[in-house]
Each structure stands twice: as C-alpha cells, then as structure tokens.
Structure 1
Amino acid sequence: MAGIDAVIFDWGGTLTRWHDVDFHAESLALAQAVIDVDHPVEVSQARLHEANRIIWGRSRDHQQSATIADLFTEAGLAHDPDLLAAYYEFWEPHTETDSEVGPLFEALRADGVKVGVLSNTIWPRAWHEGFFERDGVLHLVDGDVYTSEIACTKPSPEAFRAALAAVGATDPARCVYVGDRLFDDVWGAQNAGLRAIHVPHSTIPTDQLGHTEGEPDAVVHRLGEVLDVVRRWS
C-alpha cells in the first residue's frame, strides 16, 4: 500500500482496554518479592509505592526508562526476581488483548503495512510477548520495542526511532502511531515526525499528564477503525 509503511501501536490502554488500578494493592504485590527481612511488609509496600511514583515521574518529565529492578533499587530494597509471581498475577487480568487487534493486524499486513509495538514499560520483553502469544497475535507483530530495554521512554523521539527501526521503516512521515495518551503518544509521535491516531479509551490520571497535549491527526473509538484511516491516508 503506497503512502504508509508501518503502523506502530501503544500497548496498555490501546491494544488492551484501560483499567483503573489500585496502586497500593500493586505495591503490596511487589512487596512479596522483597527479601529484606528487617522490613515489615507495610514498610516495603510504602517504599515501593513511592518508588513507583518517582520512577514514572522520571519517565514523564525526563523520558528516563527503568526496569522492575530499578524500582526496587529506588525503594532501597533487595528483591528476588523469582518471587515476582504475585506482582505478575496482580497485573495479568489487565493484559487482555482487545478482540479487534488480531483482525486489524492481519488486514494491515495484508495491505503491505508493517505492524509494530512501542510500550512505556518497566516489565521485561518476555512478559509482553507472553501476553501476545497467549492471545494469538504475537506472530502478527513485525517489530516491538519495550522501554525497559532502551535508555528512554515516550515521548522522546529516540523511542519512536527505535520502534521504526524494529519494523524496518526509515521515513517517519510514512509511519503512523496509535495510542491513548495525548502527551506520550500523540505529541510524542508527531514530534518524531509520525502521524498520530488517538484512541480515547482511557482516563489518564492527572499525575500522568505531560507538559503538552498533541492534536491528533485522527481519532478512532474502536481499534478496527484504524484500518480505514490508514487506507485513506494511503
């Protein structure tokens, strides 16, 4: 399809539906991996909750990436990665892939458009790829970038350039980004030279909003509508 080489997708809140999350419960799940016996669980939970706020604040304000290990380091707590089962299980109900993703990815690839994923995440690649494999769409992803593996997060142009490289695209003007956030996804993509499609499914907490909100090139209310937009631009 002439005109568009690749469509890159955000993950949480875009390929998955937005869920409100109890972050205190998340921190309690994280605390199950702490191996510092001198700290009661409630102390570890409080430290991890604050560390989470700091880690994601750095992503928002400075586009600094992090990993789960960095989160424990920020909290000043030692942990055993093999004890993260409670944390994984806490998040798993929120990871279901939207039912329109498979048909959309198949149609884009049939049109000769590469499909990519760029996610701001502290999780390892294996978790994300496991969710895609579980839901039957991993084989439809031509390239994926998880910011836990690179130095920066969205909206840094470097993150978008990494995503384009992952799918073999070289011209951002011939690529599209799809996401649920007007700062990270829309403004970030446009600042990197891509067109941006907004999927306004999510209720973004105030403390997760960035300094700028982009004006999307298109808005869709179902992921399946992305195909018509891309074909129109092509």
Structure 2
Amino acid sequence: MTGAARPVEAVVFDWGGTLTPWHEVDLPQQWRVFARTVHGLPVEDPDMPAEDLAEADSLAMRIHEAEDRAWRRGRETHESASIAAILDDAGVDPAHDRHHLALAAYQRFWEPHTHTDAQVRPLWESLRRKGIRVGVLSNTIWTRDYHREVFERDGVLDLLDADVYSSEIHVVKPHPDAFRAVCRRSEERR
C-alpha cells in the first residue's frame, strides 16, 4: 500500500442486532398476528371458530412463505424486497378495510425488538464530535419511514447523517450497490 492513510470520514452501521439488541423471534407469529387482524380475529382468543382460525393461519403461512422466498432471493441474487411486495406475492389485498390495522398489529408485534441500544447515542455523539459522519445500511423489508420513526422514538435520529434501507433500493448487502448508496447519501451530508 502506498500513500498516507486517509482519515475515517464516516462509519456505517447495520441495524438489527447491531444497533438493537439481538432477539430470538418467532417469525411465523408475526404473520399470524397480521393475518388474524386482517380476518378480525383476536390474536390470542382460544374460542375462535376453527374455520376462521384455519383461514387466517393459511394466510399467515402464505405470507411467511413469500417472505422466505424474498430473503432467499436476497441471499442468492442480492435482490431486495419490501413488505408491500411480500404481501402482494402472498395475495394480500392492500385495499382490504383491515389492511392498515393488520400492519399496525404487525408493527406492535415487532416493537419490543426494535429499541435502540442505550450505548448508541453516546457512541454516535462521540463520532460526531470527531467529525465522523454516522450512517445506517440495513437489509430490511420495512420502510424508511418506519425505521426513522424508531430512531426518532429512541432519540437518535438527529445524529444520523445517512440511512439506506434495502427495501428502498434494488439490492441487499453485500452487493456493492448497497454500500455505494449509503456512501452517496453520506457524501450529500458533508
């Protein structure tokens, strides 16, 4: 290697399990919560009619399988996905009158697993004091707005210089275009 080392200008973090503590999550349950809400079924009601429960569970399984296909494509071809695309693949009608309620129930399911680690704010403040920009690059199906709401809730959004979510670009990490996207966004904040 020749030449002088360049100073660090930015640090880019992953989100889930890096900025948030890692959790074991029952992934099929996220879609059972969504599907039962779409069908107007209380999530934990033991007196649910069997045919209603079977219909909701069938929808949950279709969504789970669609999500699994999406993540498999991400691993194999680096193709990104979004929650909207996954639900569409599973045949979910976004115009259904309970669709937004189901999305809200889905987000409530995930809420305990989204809290930013308490050490993030002091770390990011330290980086900013040193003139180092802070970025996030996450493989996710969730929207930019959802992630930014989480960062706002947890009091760290003001320290974020650049954030890119695979749901808003055509690829997932480790594809170079994902890293280029967050670098471009970081450069825009210089």
TM-score using structure 1 length: 0.67
Q: Which residue of 2 aligns with 1:30?
A: 34
**What's the CA shift for 1:76?**
2.3
SS in 1 for 2:93: coil
Cα distance in 2 for residues equivalent to 1:97 and 1:107: 17
Aligned to 1:86: 105
State which of 19, 25, 31 in structure 2 corresponds to 1:21. Answer: 25
What is the 5 A alignment of 1:28-177? 28-32=32-36, 34=38, 40-79=55-94, 80=96, 81-83=99-101, 84-168=103-187
Kindly indicate whether the alpha-carbon contact (under 8 Å) linking 1:97 and 1:132 is maintained by their aligned counterparts in 2: yes
My pick for the range that moved more, 158-167 or 69-78, is 69-78
Structure 2 CA distance, aligned partners of 1:136 and 1:55?
31
Summarize the alignment of residues 189-208 of structure 1 with structure 2, pairs less than 5 Å apart: none
- Deviation per CA, 1:76-135: give whole Å up to 9, x if none: 232345221110000010001011100000000110100000011111111111111111
CA distance in 2, matches of 1:128, 1:18: 16
> Structure 1 unaligned runs (5+)?
170-234
CA RMSD of aligned residues (A): 1.8
Q: Which amino acid aligns with 1:96?
A: H
CA distance in 1, matches of 2:178, 2:38: 31
How many residue pairs end up in the alignment?
166
Structure 1 runs of 4+ with >3 Å offset: 32-35
Distance 1:33 1:47 in 2: 15
d(CA) in 1 for partners of 2:169 and 2:28? 27
Within 5 Å, give how 1:215-226 maps onto structure 2: none
Q: Which runs of 5+ in 2 are unaligned?
A: 1-5, 40-51
The alignment-based identity, stated in percent, is 50
Q: By how many angstroms is 1:75 displaced? A: 1.3
